[in-house]
Copies of this chain bind each other. A is one copy, B any other.
Amino acid sequence: MSFATSEFDELPDPADGREPPQAFQPPRRVLLGPGPSAVPPSVLEAMGRPMLGHLDPAFLGLMDEVQAMLRAAFRTGNDLTFPVSGSGSAGMECALANVLEPDDVALVAVSGAFGERMREIAGRCGARVETIGGTWGHPVEPEQVEEALREHPGAKAVCAVHAETSAGVWQPLEEIGDLCRSYGALFVVDAVASMGGIELDVDAWGIDVCYSGTQKCLSVPPGLAPITFSPKGLAAREGRVSGPPSTWYLDAALIGRYVGRERVYHHTAPVSMLYALHEGLRLVLDEGLEARWLRHQEVGGELLHALVERGFQPVAPPGYRLPQLACVWLPEGMDDAPARRRLLDEYGIEVGGGLGEFAGRVWRIGVMGASCTSQNVAQLSHALDQILGT
């Protein structure tokens, strides 16, 4: 699978390092790709505040508040809830590497690139990986999950991607959670692109390990991965029989001693990113989760309508389409890279191209977090009309 973006490689020559380059001023973009989304001014401002030590009482107080807000956003009472110091993929690795041991069986639901990534990482943890589904663009049905659980008694975990942004698939989770409890498997969920955008209810849905990313519907810059472990999820880490996980940096037991009451130094937290996440979560909870889900539902509806009117067709079947991220087949005759380049250069609008087997065939258009406005949909529609010559 290739994720190449070769159309964008006519880059300026890098500095030779002997003379430092000019200060960088980013161009203004309307961010309608699969993330990062637009970052609100108060979040940008928070990031520019003066530095604090990572063991300063004031910073530890901030970290406590971030954890409390993350619990609210995940809808969980899990004690072990914290931001992983890395991108969403670091959250994925943290989730899988802590609970999977060599020769464990991991059942991974695959509807696109991020399910495939879970499969890859689970394999690197030494697990025996079995795929459920596997067709890009198609959600996994509870019956398929139950069949897999029956075929692999004693499976350690079922893994699923809530919002599969490579294909625009909204994967229902509640029934899968019920099955995991019945069969005694852990339920590991990728909520990178769902948290703060569509309903996510970690405790009610029986999710044991759930991770997200900051740069999607939370509208915080990329660089942190909120994660939560249920008591059962944490017990899987604590009770490992093969020894500690191969990763030290993402070892949830060690990190738990820093983010919990013990305050034992593990690694230096990315302080400025935590300022940003604190402010971003404040905005999310101030708007209210339900209000936020509704906004994504409504604007996502407008987006899909606008796209279909212009000849784009959604990849996912009805009822399983993410409002915050439309993955659509291109209209006949439209050439992917030049059209995206025109959108960026002439209209300052970023949309995403296809990954892997969808490269060149789909666009991924996000209305996530602060990017999720009717005005952005109208601006994109106008630009598309110009480009399509309609």
Contact = CB atoms under 8 A, between A and B. Distances in A.
Contacts of A56: 27, 29, 344, 350
Given A27-B58, A267-B89, A273-B270, A50 B46 contact: no
Interface residues of A, number: 110
Interface in A36-65: 36-39, 42, 44-62, 64-65
Contacts of A245: 124
13 contacts: A8-B60, A15-B69, A24-B49, A24-B65, A26-B52, A28-B50, A44-B48, A47-B47, A47-B272, A56-B344, A87-B270, A97-B246, A97-B247
Nearest to A284: B20
B268 A36 contact: yes
Interface string A52-88: 1111111111101101110110000000000001111
Interface stretch (A179-187, A197-205, A231-239, A256-264): A256-264
A125 B69 CA distance: 35
A38 B14 contact: no
A241 interface: no
Per DSSP, are chain A's interface residues mostly helix, strand or loop, or mixed?
loop
Contacts of A128: none
A162 interface: no
Contacts of A47: 47-48, 272
A223 interface: yes
A215 interface: yes
A92 B45 CA distance: 31
